[in-house]
Amino acid sequence: MIVVMTKSSGEEAIQRVIGRLKDNGFAIHESRGVEKILLGAVGDKSHYTDLALDAMDGVEKVISILVPYKLASREFKQENTVIKLGDLEIGGEQIQVMAGPCAVESREQLLEIAHIVKASGIRILRGGAFKPRTSPYAFQGLEEKGLEYLAEAREQTGLYIVTEIMDTRKVEMVAEYADILQIGARNMQNFPLLKEVAKYNKPVLLKRGMNATIEEWIMAAEYIMVSGNHQVILCERGIRTFETYTRNTLDLSAVPVIKHLTHLPVIVDPSHAVGKWRFVQPMARAAVAAGADGLIIEVHSHPGEAICDGPQSITPERLAAIMTELTKVAMIMDRTI
């Protein structure tokens, strides 16, 4: 439930309400806006009638949240969440693009692509040091050596780093190197992992599972938020349908739906959605037009030689063309790239 405090509520009245809620087993999450102070209370709502919160000083009203997710809902927080990463914002007016190779293959490969990404005006470098692969015989990533190369790329270019975490035992290691912690589609409902990344004060990019409903996706975000980390970025990367021509089916309708249901920023991964480089550009265009706060795009200097996901990786030349086009689309949406 949400307890709405009046604008004139004093701190003493607010703390009395918080105290009563905590005494009855509720976890409290505060949202202090310009006009309202909202207290999100997560717990057994059957206790609510015994609390008489409506009669307490400073309480304007008490709202029961009907959806299963609480902290991610628009009812809990009406204004959009903007995640700050140094001098960069995700969820604000500027649309952020994250670009780089599917996998960190070598120091030389990563540094070359990092400088290309930097030159294109992009601020965030993506690259996998740990790779979840369908086949156990496929390349699994360079692991910590790959993380070291990512850190070196950041040092040389000033780019922020986003990379995937697959294992609860590796979270501390990855958090030492990465600026944004990515939870991949296969791990969207790996609840121990979601709880573990919540312990670190870093943004978490949560990809939608290929078979997940929107509600299941938001509930996964709720696991991170209720564990103490509200810096969640949702990423639509395509879902599995009967269609086989593209790698997945990009659900662009998820962008406005997420914006309607939650206050969290949402980005789109057209590369994993379509699986073919020639369709990445039009889907990136469409994602910005649909209201996405960002994109994550796979880039490789020599896609034909890529160890993984070469067919969906775009060349540096195509990246430049995409950025030029996205700038025009963003202007129509009263946003910037």
Confidence tier at 297 by pLDDT (50, 70, 90): very high
pLDDT of 8 higher than 90? no
pLDDT tens-place string over residues 263-283: 999 999 999 999 999 999 999
Q: Which domains does the chain have, with CATH numbers?
A: 2-63 (3.30.70.1140), 83-332 (3.20.20.70)
Buried b (16+ CB within 10 A) or exposed e, 52-63: ebeeeebbeebe
pLDDT digit string, tens, across residues 146-162: 999 999 999 999 999 99
- What local confidence, expressed as pLDDT, does residue 217 receive? 98
Residue 287, token pair as written in the block: 């994602």
Using pLDDT thresholds of 50, 70 and 90, give the confidence band for residue 48.
low
Across residues 190-194, what is the average pLDDT? 97
Report whether 77 contacts 264 (CB < 8 A). Answer: no
Per-residue pLDDT tens digits for 108-142: 999 999 999 999 999 999 999 988 777 787 777 89
Average pLDDT, the chain: 92
> What pLDDT, on a 0 to 100 scale, did the predictor assign at position 264?
98
pLDDT of residue 63: 81
Angle between helices 280-290 and 254-261 (to 10 degrees): 30
What residue ranges in 127-273 does DSSP mark as E strands? 160-165, 180-183, 204-207, 232-236, 266-268
33 pLDDT more than 80: no
Phi, psi of 194, deg, nearest 5: -60, -40
User: In this model, does residue 52 exceed pLDDT 90?
Assistant: no
- 300 in Cβ contact with 101 (< 8 Å): yes
Per-residue pLDDT band at 255 (split at 50, 70, 90) = very high
Task: Give the pLDDT of residue 49.
Answer: 61
Residue-level pLDDT at 138: 76
Per-residue confidence (pLDDT) for residue 50, from 0 to 100: 62
- Scan for tokens 């986003």, then name that residue: 162
pLDDT bracket for residue 56 (50, 70, 90)? confident
Model pLDDT for residues 205-242, shown as the tens digit of each residue: 999 999 999 999 999 999 999 999 999 999 999 999 99
Output the six-digit token pair for 131: 């790779």
For the cut 80, the answer to whether the pLDDT of residue 84 exceeds it is yes
CA distance 313 to 6: 52
Asked if the model's pLDDT at residue 69 lies above 80, the reply is: yes
- The set of residues, in sequence order, having a beta carbon less than 8 Å from that of 150 and lying 6+ positions away, is 104, 110, 125, 127, 129, 161, 163, 177, 178
Total residue count of the chain as it appears in this document: 337
pLDDT, position 46: 59
- Which residues, including other chains, have CB under 8 Å from residue 35's CB and lie 6 or more apart? 7
